[in-house]
């Protein structure tokens, strides 16, 4: 799922292309995409884009009639920019928005089309059209922006309830724009276990988490911005080269060389380094720990013994 760095770079690319330009036609080909009936989607046709805004993990496009198109890409939704008109088919290309040339000389003169695609059969991406700033505010889950929040505010939100760090940092009602991928990177950078309980953290650990959250999100925003350059960000993915632990199960930790481990739950997984983050302790993977029961290794040393025994049997 695109998170704060990805959404920020999407917005910057769209600002260069559509602010000051008129939406000539919005085409919605998926019955599942548009989640609002009023105002009708045609009410933004013929209106000029005046603003873009990030609302958590959502992208909001504002028009001169105070209407807002709000995209939530979820896991498999992606935006693309085309220099010619595209007709959405409702299968992979769910929607297309044709923009005409603007009256601002610093903008690109040639019009283009913004398309929304979604891979796979589970259509979870959503589009809302709202008719005021007040209606837009209702779509905001309410999480704080870690770049504008003081350390004291960050600590207060983090410890308001006693949850695991993973749950707390990825809760959109607490923190804005942070999801599964970048939280893994943040915890690794802060040398904290993803299942540490928030109300049991020491003050220096909370400060470390605050610093790491800002540093990791800044680093990846700058990197994605540099990768996109003047182009449109087409390679938006949760698995990126250069990540320390996310998506790197069984690969060596770049800090200590220990094999990255994971906790799997539902369709997600949390990746971590047992030496850097959990004092050498392996966190129980629900599926494997149920299968192995008492044979589940409790430390990285025990895990190495499992590998040695398995190799000896081959």
Give 309 or 311, the one with higher predicted confidence. Answer: 309
Q: Are residues 212 and 275 both part of a single domain?
A: no
Q: Are residues 199 and 274 both part of a single domain?
A: no
Q: Are residues 69 and 115 both part of a single domain?
A: yes
CB 195 within 8 A of CB 272: no
- Let me know if residue 242 belongs to a domain: no
* φ/ψ (deg, to 5) at 55: -120, 90
122 band by pLDDT with thresholds 50, 70 and 90: confident
CATH (domain of 155): 1.10.8.50
Domain boundary among 203, 228, 253: 228
Q: Are residues 18 and 101 both part of a single domain?
A: yes
pLDDT (tens digit per residue) in 159-196: 999 999 999 999 999 999 999 999 999 999 999 999 99
Domain boundary among 102, 137, 172: 137
CB 195 within 8 A of CB 165: yes
pLDDT (tens digit per residue) in 79-108: 999 988 889 998 899 999 999 865 544 444
Domain boundary among 75, 107, 137: 137
| pLDDT mean over 114-136 | 94
Q: Are residues 130 and 53 both part of a single domain?
A: yes
pLDDT at 310 over 60: no
Q: Are residues 53 and 117 both part of a single domain?
A: yes
- Let me know if residue 248 belongs to a domain: no
- Let me know if residue 256 belongs to a domain: no
- Let me know if residue 255 belongs to a domain: no
CB 177 within 8 A of CB 57: yes
CATH (domain of 82): 3.20.190.10
Q: Are residues 13 and 122 both part of a single domain?
A: yes
- Taking the C-alpha atoms of residue 209 and residue 159, their distance in angstroms, rounded to an integer, is 12
- Let me know if residue 220 belongs to a domain: yes
- Let me know if residue 250 belongs to a domain: no
- Let me know if residue 95 belongs to a domain: yes
CB 178 within 8 A of CB 4: yes
- Let me know if residue 253 belongs to a domain: no
Q: Are residues 110 and 24 both part of a single domain?
A: yes
Query: Which H helix or E strand runs over 228?
Result: helix 203-228
Q: Are residues 10 and 109 both part of a single domain?
A: yes
At residue 309, the 3 state secondary structure works out as helix
114 band by pLDDT with thresholds 50, 70 and 90: very high
Q: Would you call the peptide bond into 64 cis, given omega within 30 degrees of 0 as the criterion?
A: no
Q: How far is CA 8 from the centre of its chain?
A: 10
Q: Which domain holds residue 275?
A: 261-313
Q: Are residues 57 and 181 both part of a single domain?
A: no
Q: Are residues 17 and 75 both part of a single domain?
A: yes
Number of independent structural domains in the chain:
3
């Amino acid at each position: 799922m695109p998170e704060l760095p990805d959404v920020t770079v999407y917005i910057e690319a769209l600002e260069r292309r559509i602010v000051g330009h008129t939406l000539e036609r919005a085409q919605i080909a998926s019955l599942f995409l548009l989640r609002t009936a009023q105002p009708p989607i045609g009410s933004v046709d013929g209106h000029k884009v005046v603003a873009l805004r990030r609302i958590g993990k959502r992208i909001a496009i504002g028009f001169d009639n105070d209407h807002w198109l709000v995209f939530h890409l979820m896991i498999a939704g992606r935006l693309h920019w085309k220099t010619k008109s595209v007709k959405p088919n409702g299968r992979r290309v769910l929607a297309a928005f044709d923009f005409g040339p603007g009256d601002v000389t610093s903008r690109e003169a040639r019009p283009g089309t913004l398309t929304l695609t979604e891979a796979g059969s589970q259509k979870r991406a959503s589009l809302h059209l709202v008719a005021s700033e007040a209606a837009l505010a209702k779509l905001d889950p309410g999480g704080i922006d870690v770049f504008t929040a003081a350390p004291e505010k960050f600590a207060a939100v983090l410890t308001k309830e006693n949850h695991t760090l993973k749950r707390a940092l990825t809760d959109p009602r607490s923190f804005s724009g942070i999801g599964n991928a970048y939280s893994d990177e943040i915890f690794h950078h802060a040398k904290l276990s993803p299942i540490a309980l928030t109300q049991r953290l020491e003050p220096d650990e909370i400060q470390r988490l605050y610093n790491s959250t800002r540093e990791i999100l800044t680093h990846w925003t700058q990197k994605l911005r540099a990768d996109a350059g003047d182009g449109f960000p087409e390679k938006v993915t949760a698995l990126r080269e250069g990540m320390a632990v996310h998506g790197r199960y069984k690969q060596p930790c770049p800090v200590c060389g220990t094999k990255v481990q994971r906790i799997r739950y539902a369709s997600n997984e949390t990746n971590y380094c047992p030496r850097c983050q959990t004092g050498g302790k392996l966190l129980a993977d629900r599926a494997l720990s149920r299968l192995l029961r008492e044979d589940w290794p409790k430390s990285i040393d025990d895990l190495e013994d499992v590998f040695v025994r398995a190799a000896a049997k081959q």
